[in-house]
């Protein structure tokens, strides 16, 4: 058993997240019912597609041992810009591309500050968070509504795959599809390419990665660009679903995304983590909201306490495992 723990210590937290997810579904199904059905699961995916995308982007940064606090604010800026431009008559497809590019530009700025000027990731991305939030507020402080017939809303069009009885339909949206493509792409890049290997090597030990002749600088700029770009993608998906953009959109989402990544088994010190884990982590958070709503007796004020508690349990689990690994 101990040998198994040591051998599998890196994957165990991720497996633990999957177990918790399944257990939460089982508990919800037994206690409240109507969890394990098409409509609930479809909604879980649709409502959390943006969080999944964010968490996947953040996984890259956190595996290198960095952090990106700017993603929530980047979503606010890109979605307000996008909606304003689309309403001003710009080509909506161009607007969507522009939203993603702007996100990437914020990531690039963070990356250059961190790598080229030696600013700590926490401070550099904090600056980008302030900048994006402030710029979004100068653009507009009112909720900007996207026209209902705007093609951007097609991203949230519902495809009914299985027409169940009553409203129990299996529904997918292009947004969910985009999230799935992002997850697959990120999995491929992180686990199957040189860039991905370098990301892990930097997280394991940056001096060693440098001595091995790996392109540390370029890779570290890349991870911030990836995180920023995916924040732009998440902004497109979220704005399309909601149809409204506001300067206060996405406040605290960087924390949700960090929580999802941590629950998924990625170490904040870097070097260990899985894309799949972050996806499960995001879904655990989403499912938790569903269960709290279903329960009805838990006051909504408790939500953040429960989120904090879950993160704490997972971090303690990781901590325990690392102790087991170090003392055979």
Partner 1 sequence: MNRVKGLVKKPPFWGFVAILLLLAINLAKDPRYLAITVSPVTGNLVGNVIDILRVVAPILLIAFGMCLVIATGGIDLSVGSVMAVSGAVAMQYLHDHGAPDSVGDALAAIGLALGVALLVGLVNAVLVAVVGLQPFITTLVMMLAGRGLAKVVTQGQNTNAVNDPMRWIANGYVLGIPVVFLLALVLIVVVAVLIRRSALGLLIESLGVDPKAARLAGVDRRALLFSAYLLSALLAGIAGLFATGSVMTVDVSQTGYQAELDAILAVVVGGTSLAGGRFSLGGAVVGAFLIATLDKTIVFLGVPASATPAFKAVVIVVLCLLQSQRVRGWIGQAGARMRAARKAVA
Binding stretches for partner 1 (CB under 8 A): 67, 73, 113, 116-120, 122-124, 126-131, 133-135, 137-138, 141, 247, 255, 258-259, 262, 268-269, 299-309, 311-312, 315-316, 319
| Least distance (Å) between residue 323 CB and partner 1 | 8
CB 75 within 8 A of CB 253: yes
Encoded tokens for 279: 């996806």
Nearer to partner 1, 33 or 308 (CB): 308
| Least distance (Å) between residue 245 CB and partner 1 | 15
35: number of Cβ within 10 Å: 20
| Least distance (Å) between residue 39 CB and partner 1 | 29
| Least distance (Å) between residue 212 CB and partner 1 | 24
Nearer to partner 1, 183 or 235 (CB): 235
Nearer to partner 1, 162 or 312 (CB): 312
Nearer to partner 1, 12 or 179 (CB): 12
Question: Residues, the chain, total?
Answer: 328
| Least distance (Å) between residue 109 CB and partner 1 | 9
| Least distance (Å) between residue 137 CB and partner 1 | 4
324: number of Cβ within 10 Å: 14
Nearer to partner 1, 154 or 255 (CB): 255
For the chain, the C-alpha Rg in angstroms (whole number) is 20
Calpha distance 172→262 (Å, rounded): 27
Helix spans in the chain (H) = 2-7, 12-31, 38-63, 71-87, 92-116, 121-139, 174-192, 194-204, 206-211, 216-242, 253-263, 275-295, 303-326
DSSP assignment string, 195-223: HHHHHHHHHH-HHHHHHTT--HHHHHHHH
Nearer to partner 1, 196 or 228 (CB): 228
């Amino acid at each position: 058993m101990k040998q198994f723990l040591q051998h599998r210590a890196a994957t165990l937290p991720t497996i633990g997240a999957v177990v918790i997810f399944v257990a939460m579904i089982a508990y919800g199904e037994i206690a409240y019912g109507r969890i394990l059905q098409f409509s609930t699961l479809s909604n879980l995916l649709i409502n959390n597609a943006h969080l999944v995308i964010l968490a996947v982007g953040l996984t890259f940064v956190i595996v290198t041992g960095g952090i990106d606090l700017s993603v929530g604010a980047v979503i606010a800026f890109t979605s307000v810009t996008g909606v304003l431009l689309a309403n001003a008559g710009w080509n909506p497809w161009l607007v969507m591309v522009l939203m993603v590019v702007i996100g990437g530009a914020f990531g690039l700025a963070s990356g250059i500050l961190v790598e080229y000027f030696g600013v700590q990731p926490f401070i550099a991305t904090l600056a980008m968070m302030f900048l994006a939030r402030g710029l979004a507020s100068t653009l507009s402080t009112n909720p900007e509504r996207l026209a209902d017939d705007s093609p951007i809303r097609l991203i949230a069009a519902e495809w009914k795959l299985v027409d169940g009885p009553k409203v129990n339909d299996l529904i997918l949206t292009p947004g969910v599809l985009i999230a799935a493509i992002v997850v697959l792409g990120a999995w491929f890049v992180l686990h199957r390419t040189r860039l991905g290997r370098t990301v892990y090597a930097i997280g394991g030990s940056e001096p060693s990665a440098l001595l091995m002749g790996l392109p540390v600088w370029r890779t570290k700029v890349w991870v911030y660009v990836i995180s920023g770009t995916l924040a732009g993608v998440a902004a497109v998906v979220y704005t399309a679903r909601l149809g409204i953009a506001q300067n206060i959109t996405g406040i605290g989402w960087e924390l949700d995304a960090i929580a999802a990544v941590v629950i998924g088994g990625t170490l904040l010190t870097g070097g260990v983590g899985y894309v799949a884990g972050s996806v499960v982590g995001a879904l655990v958070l989403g499912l938790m909201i569903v269960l709290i709503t279903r329960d009805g007796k838990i006051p909504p004020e408790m939500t953040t306490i429960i989120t904090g508690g879950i993160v704490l349990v997972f971090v303690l689990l990781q901590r325990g495992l690392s102790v087991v690994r170090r003392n055979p």
